[in-house]
Amino acid sequence: MAFSSPLLVIVIIIATFLLATLGLAATITPPNRPFKKIYVFGDSYTDTGNTNSATGPSSFNFVSNPPYGMTFFHRPTNRYSDGRIMIDFVSQVLGLPFIPPYLDRKANKSHGVNFAVAGASAIRHSFYVKNNMSLNITPQSLETEIRWFDKFLESQGCKGWNETPKQCGEAFEDALFWIGEMGENDYSYTYISSVDKLKVQKLVIKSLTTFLQTILSKGAKYVVVQGLPTTGCLPFALFLSSDDDRDAIGCSSSFNKQSYEHNRLLQSKLAYLRNQFPDAVIVYSDFWNSFREVVTSPEKYGFVERFKACCGPGADPYNFEMFFPCGSPNTSACGNPYQYINWDGAHLTEGMNKVLANLMLDGTFSYPPFQTLLKKKGEQSLRT
């Protein structure tokens, strides 16, 4: 059976993408590149350099020091990992360069901008200051990131679709919007406060929903939204929780329940937004179940250490201490980070980021599958 020319183009794009995700060894190249740019939002799991040791979260204030960046870049890049993070792998597979941080004024931003900020909250930072809940020196939130995005659009000549349709079209029509996990910093504040956790959760979901409505109203058509991971499997959560607070896979039950409920509420809001914006493709990236899959069967993905951090002070059992973060004096990194899931106690190794990116991109843990988004993009490209 012969393919029509338009269908063949779509098939080529998706087939090339599927081949690229096998080990993330290949990339999509022009003319099959589905997107010209990526706009990135989020926190430290997604930040590619908008913070550094002096401006980032106070609990991880040595990110500009070795051994951060040791695996791939061979130097610190202000990423909270030993190497590449998930958005880096997504960019590579889509045939794009690494997406530069917004605050790097000299960077080439023709292929997108990363607005994510380590330590950023979903709720306005002023809420935490008002309730005496803030221990973090990072004042940014999703509100900050959307404000930066607006400033970037203005710098590109996009002042609104009615006033500048050509410039706004160039900014939006071939863009993927990647919304990294958000909310964990908000929930971390509740651990040291008497403020009602359910109140914070409602405000987090409301803030995320408002943010998504804002970018969709502006013209975003292809959007990936990450949920929270199984936070209870991170060394810092295991360190802070009691030994009797463990679930079936050895993680903190209370932390994981909180993340699970956040994701349940978020997915409900995404269903609502799909109805509100039927022309947009909104993919949910299931960080929770993909992370749980790896922790449950680490050997399947080449990992040896499930819960111990690669970089830390050497303290058992998790190689994590609150006041001796990775990169500080008297801390060191493991010999082979690719055998570890966790990098510094709260963030992931390049190896884990690579596995999770693959599990999302190949459709195993994305709903609808990421390939659906690519297909829709291919169809849209043929119409224009």
Strands 37-41 and 175-179: parallel
Is residue 366 annotated as part of the catalytic site, yes or no?
A: no
Q: DSSP labels for 271-306?
A: HHHHHH-TTSEEEEE-HHHHHHHHHHSGGGGT-SEE
333 vs 130: CA distance, rounded Å = 38
Question: Residue 56 to residues 3, 86, 235, 307, 359: CA-CA distances in angstroms?
Answer: 52, 19, 20, 24, 29
247 is catalytic: no
Q: Compute the distance between CA of residue 320 and CA of residue 329 in angstroms, rounded to an integer.
A: 14
CB 339 within 8 A of CB 304: yes
Helix (H/G/I), strand (E/B), else coil: 141: strand
User: Which residue in the list 186, 286, 347, 366 is annotated as catalytic?
Assistant: 347
Cis peptide before 368 (omega within 30 of 0): yes
Q: Is 140:57 a contact under the CB 8 Å cutoff?
A: no
Query: Per the residue annotation, which of 44, 121, 188, 259 is the catalytic one?
Result: 44
Report which of 368, 367, 364, 342 is spatially closest to residue 353, judged by C-alpha positions. 342
Residue 269, CA distances (Å) to 119, 240, 273, 301, 373 in order: 24, 31, 6, 32, 19
Question: Residue length, the chain?
Answer: 384
Task: Please tell me the distance from the alpha carbon of residue 306 to that of residue 314, in angstroms, as a whole number.
Answer: 16
Point out the catalytic residue in the list 285, 344, 362, 366.
Answer: 344
Alpha helices in 86-179 (DSSP H): 86-93, 125-130, 142-155, 165-172
344 noted as active-site residue: yes
SS3 341: strand
Q: Name the 3-class secondary structure at 178.
A: strand
Which residues are marked as active site? 44, 344, 347
